[in-house]
Amino acid sequence: MASIPCVDMSRWIVPATRTEFVRELGDGLEQLGFVMVTGHGVPVELLQLAYARAREVFALHPDVKARYETPTGGRQRGYTGLGVEHAKDTLVPDLKEFWHVGRDLGAGHPLHLSGDVPPNIFPAEVPAFQPAMARLFRELESFAGRLLEAVESYLELETGFFAHLTRDGNSVLRVINYPDVGAGSEPGAVRAAPHEDINLMTVLPASTQPGLEVMTRDGRWLSVNPPPNVMICDTGDMMALLTANRLPATTHRVVNPAVPDGGRLSMPFFLHPHPDALLAPMVPGFARAVRARDFFHERLRQIGVEPLVPGVAEVRE
């Protein structure tokens, strides 16, 4: 495969082109786990605004940003600094810092009280960051939901299967800053080491610099250079579990630039199921079912953002 398939979401709403769109989307995800999507409906002006606010936040002094870290909560909300997160199969930290924004269920909601869907944390120093990111979260979640309706059709699932599965889920918008790579970095450190996403579906607006690479089924690295205003969408570990790897979680990475590039910003949206959802493979006997909450927290421990718990077995699909 020479490039990632590109599909036009506007064809989903037209009866005459819906069937062909579903086939192209599903085949792309099944063959590579990644597609590019045009016609997504997310305003480009909102993406530009969100990136502008992100630059302001990451420009804050490190001591200021550190006040918004939540290490005891698995860093599900607020700021995570450089040198913390690493890929599942390496201990060398990625060269990135990020801010997590989730859904707002209200202070008295049981999932807030239990810590499964923590309340958001926003920087007082950049008040315009909160409304921009809250709006972007809603727009990307809405688009991801429409995309999963088409995936339902491809998999011949009942209408509303994914809407029910993801209602009040712990979805997260991860606003990432990859600083310019310079001297002093740990040997072997890269912006994002090879990994697979944890969740059901990821929606990634175009980043401010290139660097994303996807591994093909025959083990080659494929550079992803999307046209302007295109969403890159991929299926994660939870989708691979549900579909018995029919829709795979594909390995990808963000490579270091060959020359200084001024840094790179990225804003992936990770769509998650409800914490109590039971992730059971659609092919009986393929693997054991696992609760979404348990799957998620085990992955957080594997990537270094949540403390290891003695005696807790690794989740295996």
Per-residue model confidence as pLDDT tens for the chain (317 residues): 468 999 999 999 999 999 999 999 999 999 999 999 999 999 999 999 999 999 999 999 999 999 999 998 789 999 999 999 999 888 899 999 999 999 999 889 999 999 999 999 999 999 999 999 999 999 999 999 999 999 999 999 999 999 999 999 999 999 999 999 865 567 789 999 999 999 999 999 999 999 999 999 999 999 998 888 899 999 999 999 999 999 999 999 999 999 999 999 999 999 999 999 999 888 766 667 899 999 998 988 888 886 644 333 333 32
Q: List, in order, residues 6 or more apart from 185 with CB less than 8 Å away.
A: 95
Q: What is the pTM of this model?
A: 0.93
- Beta-sheet strands, E only, within the chain: 6-8, 34-38, 78-80, 97-102, 172-178, 192-195, 201-204, 212-215, 221-223, 231-235, 252-254, 264-266, 269-271, 278-279, 290-291
What is the token pair recorded at 66? 């550190």
Note whether residue 250 is domain-resident.
Answer: yes
What pLDDT is recorded for position 78? 97
Rounded to whole angstroms, the Cα distance separating 95 from 89 reads 16
The answer to whether the CB of 254 falls within 8 A of the CB of 265 is no
Question: 267 is in which domain, residue-wise?
Answer: 6-302
What pLDDT is recorded for position 90? 86
What's the total number of domains in the chain?
A: 1
CATH code, 273: 2.60.120.330
Note whether residue 80 is domain-resident.
Answer: yes
CA dihedral 235→240→242→247, nearest 10 degrees, is: 70
Neighbours of 85 (CB within 10 A): 20
Note whether residue 124 is domain-resident.
Answer: yes
What pLDDT is recorded for position 312? 33
What pLDDT is recorded for position 184? 52
Note whether residue 310 is domain-resident.
Answer: no
Note whether residue 317 is domain-resident.
Answer: no
Note whether residue 311 is domain-resident.
Answer: no
Note whether residue 33 is domain-resident.
Answer: yes
Note whether residue 46 is domain-resident.
Answer: yes
